[in-house]
Structure 1
Amino acid sequence: MVMWVFGYGSLIWKAGFPYDDRLVGFIKDHRRVFDQGSTDHRGTPEFPGRTVTLESAAGEVCHLEVREKQYDQKAYVDFFTDPAAITPAVSGVMVYIGSPDKKINPNYLGPAPLEDIARQIVLAEGPSGPNRDYLFQLEKALLQIGCEDKHVKDLADEVRRLLSERKLKGEEV
């Protein structure tokens, strides 16, 4: 049986399961957003971290866990490797999504100003480590496969700015 899984977050750098092949590409009409709460890996129930989920966004592209247990939806999408392609490289690729419906996804945090998301990421830490490590690993992994995500870059820059500010004040970083 062949099954493709689209990794748009930590699956990019830390699959956590054996796989036979890896293909770099994107899905259409979705974007990566830090709207999903993490109460079991990058935060706690008392102070959730923020991890990525997908949201529908016409014209956008999104490049490329027990972790997925906090994501309430599975979808099957078309996967492209060439921006000019009309026909997908692979159809029926499985992707986990945290929906914005708080009734079925109690960990959904929703959108917030970039500065607020950055502050939360700076302070959140869970069993898998600091939330900022998740963000910085995602930024690095995306750059390594040749994909720059403006939201991830802007957020990482703001987190670095806040960490630098905290360091200058003599606060623990």
Structure 2
Amino acid sequence: MFEFRPALTLLLFTLIGGLLPAQDDAETLIAMARKQEAEARGKSQEDRQICLEDALKTYRSVLTRFPADSAVCQRAWYEVGSLERRLGRIDAAREAYESALGKEGPDRIATRALDGLASIHRRQKSLEQAEGCLKRIVADYPSEPRAQAEARLDLMRLYRASKRFREAIQVGEEIIREHPSIWRVNV
């Protein structure tokens, strides 16, 4: 006859001892991916690439294991986009940022994804698309005043680079009016 108590004890010791992996949750996987990213710092180009690819796989596993959690998927898509951009795969980064924007989640992540898209568009000289992303941050995310201020600064720089000086001045005045302490240091 099978004894339940010794089997349960063996199972508990195995779990406590770490011989069987515990069920990972999304936050644990995201933390693991961040650690993999951090391990890339200071390594040779080849080792760095391996660490970043491992982190990318971990973020993608979040997407496949937790597809119903929109906020977690939004964050994972944003992180995938950031890593793809670091790895020089701009088209994959753009798709990931767009996927992040297609998910419901914190405004902070959405503004970062839009900023990432704007950066990609600026690099590719698609200034109208970059402008659209930055304007969207300003218009759609009042809960993120810092992101709005940074987007306005980027808009001002974009206008200045495009020789649209009146618009640059107008945006600069908006920044000063809405964020009067933005120019102060250590306030």
Report TM bin, short chain. under 0.3
Structure (1 or 2) with the larger CA radius of gyration: 2
TM-score when normalising by structure 1: 0.26
TM-score when normalising by structure 2: 0.25
Higher strand share: 1
